[in-house]
């Protein structure tokens, strides 16, 4: 499972405790802790099953631009990855920023607001 690095440690622990292997995709400080979609894509192998997207990110506080989320959605669609969208802090943004939610609130399976995306998405968010 692809997990952002740095990440909230619970994601890495959950993957490991369930017999998986967490592979961290870099969210570099020089890029404002926003992932480079090409770097993420380069980490995907035939064994990769899912990707965790934490937006706004904990612990960095980075809010991913909608264009990055759309690119990650297209990448997940092309490669058949399940998306775990952790948006628990989506109501806690500062400095005039706003967070783009991954999927709308709807019944499972979640259908994201990104056109053409048809894979499963699991979402954690505030109510």
Q: How many structural domains is the chain composed of?
A: 1
Interval 41-68: pLDDT, tens:
999 999 999 999 888 888 888 888 888 9
What are the φ and ψ backbone dihedral angles of 25, each rounded to 5 degrees?
-95, 135
The region of weakest confidence among 11-20, 23-32, 96-105 is 96-105
Range of the domain at 83: 2-125
Contact 79, 118 (CB under 8 A): no
pTM here?
0.75
Q: How far is it, in rounded angstroms, from Cα 38 to Cα 89?
A: 26
Q: How far is it, in rounded angstroms, from Cα 4 to Cα 86?
A: 11
Q: Does residue 12 carry a pLDDT above 50?
A: yes
User: According to the model, what pLDDT value does residue 82 have?
Assistant: 87
> What CATH number is given to the structural domain containing 40?
3.40.640.10
Interval 84-122: pLDDT, tens:
887 755 455 445 555 555 543 322 333 444 455 544 455
């Amino acid at each position: 499972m692809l997990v952002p690095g740095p990440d909230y440690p619970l994601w890495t622990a959950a993957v490991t405790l369930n017999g998986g292997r967490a592979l961290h995709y870099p969210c570099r400080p020089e890029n404002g802790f926003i992932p480079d979609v090409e770097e993420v894509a380069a980490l995907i192998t035939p064994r990769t099953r899912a990707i965790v997207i934490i937006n706004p990110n904990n612990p960095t506080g980075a809010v991913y631009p909608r264009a990055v989320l759309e690119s990650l959605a297209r990448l997940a669609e092309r490669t058949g990855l399940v998306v775990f969208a952790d948006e628990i802090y989506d109501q806690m943004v500062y400095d005039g920023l706003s967070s783009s939610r991954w999927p709308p609130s709807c019944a499972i399976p979640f259908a994201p607001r990104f056109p053409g995306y048809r894979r499963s998405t699991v979402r954690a968010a505030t109510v």
